[in-house]
Every structure is written in C-alpha cells, then in structure tokens.
C-alpha cells in the first residue's frame, strides 16, 4: 500500500521503516524475476539480505510497505524514473583509472596499432571503442588517454570515438562530469595527470580534449533492440560485468556484442572471466601477458 504524502519528520521516518515488511521467501522470487526479466541481472537465493538492504531506501522514499508493492509501483510507473533508481540500487560502481595494466598494455601496443592499420583499407576511417558497464567513466577515459599517448593526432582529428554505457543514470551523469578524487587516480603518473586533467579544488577534472572523445549513454545490456543499434565497433571492453548476469542473459549479451564488432574486432573481459559455455564464436588470442577474444575476419 502506498503512503500518500512524504514523511516530514525523523520520528515519522523511523515509524515508516518499522512499517516496511521484511522481504518474505515468497516475495524474493517475485522481485528477482522482475529484475532478471528487465535487466538480466541475477540474484541467487543467498543474496536475499543483500537485495533487501539495497532496496529498502527506495521503499522508504516512496512509502511502499512491501517489496511486492515496490515492484508493482515500478511496473506502472510510465516515466521509468523509478526503474532507473532500481538499476542504480542493485549495481556496484567500483573502479579506477588504468585497471589491469597487462590488458591495457596489450590494448595500447598490440591491438590499437592493428586497428589503426586496418583503417587504411576502409572507406570510413572512424575508429570506435565501447566500454560496456563503464560505471563512472574511468575505463573509457583510460582508453582515450592511452590512445592519445600512442597517436597524439587523435585529439585533433576526431577520428576516435569512444562510447561508455551503463544502466545507472546517476553514474552516467557522474561520468559526463568527469571529476575524480585522488583515490581513483592512484594508477596515473604525474605526467598523465598534467596532460589529461585540470585541478578543481581537491579533485581533478578530465580536460575538454579528452572529454570530447568520449560519449556516455544509458544502456540496458539486456535490451537487445538497443544493442542491435551498435555496429562497426573495433574494440569492446566488458570487464568484470558478466558476473552480475544470469546464464541466458550472458549468452544473449555476448551474441549481441559479437554482432556489434567489426570483423577483426576485439573483446576484452575481466582477467578471471571467460566465454566458456557462453559462446564459441570468438577466437581466444594470446597477446603477451593476457588473453583477448577476437572476431576473425
């Protein structure tokens, strides 16, 4: 049952918290089925407390008494605003610049030159990279930094286009702003900080040249109709995201990513992730200290 008006005092807020009925064993599959259907994200039986903990603030905010009420509210919310709030609540955004140096070294010194060479035989010379599940933007900005270090002309020619997507609207807004604290910048050298950032108080902000290379968009990877709009991608980074999806969703997402890649394109997964049991379409390729999936020509 929905409470008609916002609670205005601490006492009434505390009272509302007590009124929220704990998620029952019957509600849990109802809630998780909706989440899986709409996002592909899977919550197993041992994650009930975690899911309840993440959703409780949303129930408080809306005045929902039960978790079933909350899901019904989302289903009938034509604005989709609460669905985006749900997406934000159930995802984890923990990242930093230049994560997993062996992969990024292979990207900068092996994959990137191959892509640049392949452009010479194309009628359109645009190069496209996609960071899927980009969180607050550290990964796509890292790709832009490494690409510009290797090929400085990228900054002026607009040849390079980098797309960062995430299901969380709030985190996409943060990525667009491009401001970061020192902790997430810990892997950067002083030279990189000076070249790609400007100091803003105690934070650092991405400079305009790098910002102009990277575009951010809300994207639900479980939405095949929107995934099919992404084509002619040269490199996809999809690192440490698959763990959140169920088996069928993983197969569907990877199949769509295969179609999104150009022939000869590359797919980077997290260092402990693989496509075993998910897809046989890619060729697993050894690039020095890391393995990368390759869409053969």
Confidence band of 124 (pLDDT split at 50, 70, 90) = confident
CA separation for the pair 101, 58 (Å, rounded): 38
CA separation for the pair 170, 173 (Å, rounded): 5
Q: pTM higher than 0.85 for the full model?
A: yes
CA separation for the pair 287, 44 (Å, rounded): 35
CA separation for the pair 3, 13 (Å, rounded): 12
- 202-209: average pLDDT: 96
Whether residues 106 and 234 fall in one domain: yes
Whether residues 122 and 247 fall in one domain: yes
Whether residues 45 and 144 fall in one domain: no
CA separation for the pair 139, 79 (Å, rounded): 30
**Higher-confidence position of 9 and 128:** 128
Q: pLDDT tens for residues 48-60?
A: 999 999 999 999 9
Q: Please tell me the predicted confidence (pLDDT) of residue 66.
A: 96
Q: pLDDT tens for residues 227-237?
A: 999 999 999 99
Whether residues 144 and 76 fall in one domain: no
Whether residues 209 and 255 fall in one domain: yes
In-domain check, residue 2: no
Q: Is the dihedral of CA 99, 102, 108, 111 positive or negative?
A: negative
**CATH number of the domain where residue 56 is located:** 1.10.155.10
**Higher-confidence position of 260 and 4:** 260
Burial of 277 (0-12, 13-18, 19+ CB in 10 A): exposed
Whether residues 79 and 117 fall in one domain: no
Burial of 165 (0-12, 13-18, 19+ CB in 10 A): buried
CA separation for the pair 157, 48 (Å, rounded): 50
Q: Please tell me the predicted confidence (pLDDT) of residue 5.
A: 35
Q: Please tell me the predicted confidence (pLDDT) of residue 18.
A: 54
**CATH number of the domain where residue 128 is located:** 3.40.50.150
Confidence band of 62 (pLDDT split at 50, 70, 90) = very high
Does the pLDDT of residue 117 top 90, yes or no?
yes
Whether residues 72 and 112 fall in one domain: no
The mean pLDDT value of the chain amounts to: 92
Specify whether the CB–CB gap between 142 and 100 falls below 8 A. Answer: no
Residue 144 has a CB neighbour count (10 Å cut-off) of: 26
Place of tokens 């930094």: 145
Does the pLDDT of residue 14 top 50, yes or no?
no
Whether residues 111 and 35 fall in one domain: no
In-domain check, residue 248: yes
- 244-261: average pLDDT: 97
Q: Strands (DSSP E) along 81-238, which ranges?
A: 127-132, 160-166, 179-180, 197-200, 203-206, 214-218, 233-238
Does the pLDDT of residue 100 top 90, yes or no?
yes
Structural domains of the chain, count: 2
Whether residues 80 and 126 fall in one domain: no
Place of tokens 């039986």: 45
In-domain check, residue 289: yes
Q: Which token pair is 143?
A: 């790709």
Does the pLDDT of residue 221 top 70, yes or no?
yes
Q: Last residue of a domain, which of 90, 112, 132?
A: 90
In-domain check, residue 4: no
| Helices (runs of H) and strands (runs of E) counted in the chain | 14, 10
Whether residues 56 and 177 fall in one domain: no
Q: pLDDT tens for residues 147-191?
A: 999 999 998 888 999 999 999 999 999 999 999 999 999 999 999
Confidence band of 16 (pLDDT split at 50, 70, 90) = very low
Does the pLDDT of residue 2 top 70, yes or no?
no
Q: Last residue of a domain, which of 67, 90, 113?
A: 90
Q: pLDDT tens for residues 68-80?
A: 999 999 999 999 9
**Higher-confidence position of 239 and 4:** 239
Whether residues 193 and 262 fall in one domain: yes
Q: Please tell me the predicted confidence (pLDDT) of residue 157.
A: 86
Place of tokens 């205005």: 8
User: Residue 131 is part of which domain span?
Assistant: 101-295
Q: Which token pair is 238?
A: 């999809």
Residue 22 has a CB neighbour count (10 Å cut-off) of: 11
- 7-30: average pLDDT: 66
Q: Please tell me the predicted confidence (pLDDT) of residue 3.
A: 32
CA separation for the pair 257, 239 (Å, rounded): 13
Whether residues 172 and 44 fall in one domain: no
Closest CA to 135 of 191, 92, 76: 92
DSSP assignments along 59-117, one per residue = HHHHTBSSHHHHHHHHHT-TT-HHHHHHHHHH------TT-SHHHHHHIIIIIHHHHHH
């Amino acid at each position: 049952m929905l409470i008609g008006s916002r609670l205005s005092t601490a006492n009434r807020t505390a009272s509302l918290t007590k009124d929220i009925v704990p998620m029952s064993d019957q509600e849990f599959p109802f809630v998780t089925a909706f989440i899986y259907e709409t996002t592909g994200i899977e919550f197993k039986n041992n994650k009930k407390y975690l899911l309840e903990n993440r959703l409780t603030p949303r129930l408080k905010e809306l005045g929902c008494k039960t978790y079933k009420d909350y899901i019904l509210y989302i289903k009938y919310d034509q604005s989709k605003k609460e669905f985006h709030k749900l997406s934000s609540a159930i995802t984890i955004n923990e990242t930093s610049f230049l994560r997993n140096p062996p992969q990024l070294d292979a990207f900068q010194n092996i994959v990137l030159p191959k892509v640049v060479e392949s452009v010479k035989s194309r009628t359109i010379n645009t190069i496209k990279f996609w960071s899927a599940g980009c969180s607050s933007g550290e990964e796509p900005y890292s790709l832009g930094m490494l690409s510009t270090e290797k090929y400085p002309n990228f900054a002026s020619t607009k040849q390079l286009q980098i797309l960062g997507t995430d299901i969380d609207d709030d985190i996409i807004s943060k990525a667009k702003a491009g401001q970061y604290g020192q902790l997430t910048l810990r892997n950067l050298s002083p030279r990189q900080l000076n070249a790609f950032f400007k100091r803003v108080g105690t934070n650092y902000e991405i400079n305009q040249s790098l910002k102009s290379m990277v575009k951010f968009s809300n994207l639900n990877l479980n939405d095949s109709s929107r995934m099919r709009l992404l084509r002619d991608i040269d490199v996809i980074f999809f690192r440490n995201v698959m763990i959140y999806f169920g088996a069928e969703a993983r197969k569907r997402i990877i199949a769509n990513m295969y179609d999104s890649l150009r022939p000869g394109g590359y797919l980077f997964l997290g260092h402990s992730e693989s496509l075993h049991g998910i897809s046989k379409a890619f060729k697993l390729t050894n690039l020095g200290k890391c393995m990368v999936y390759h869409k053969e020509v």
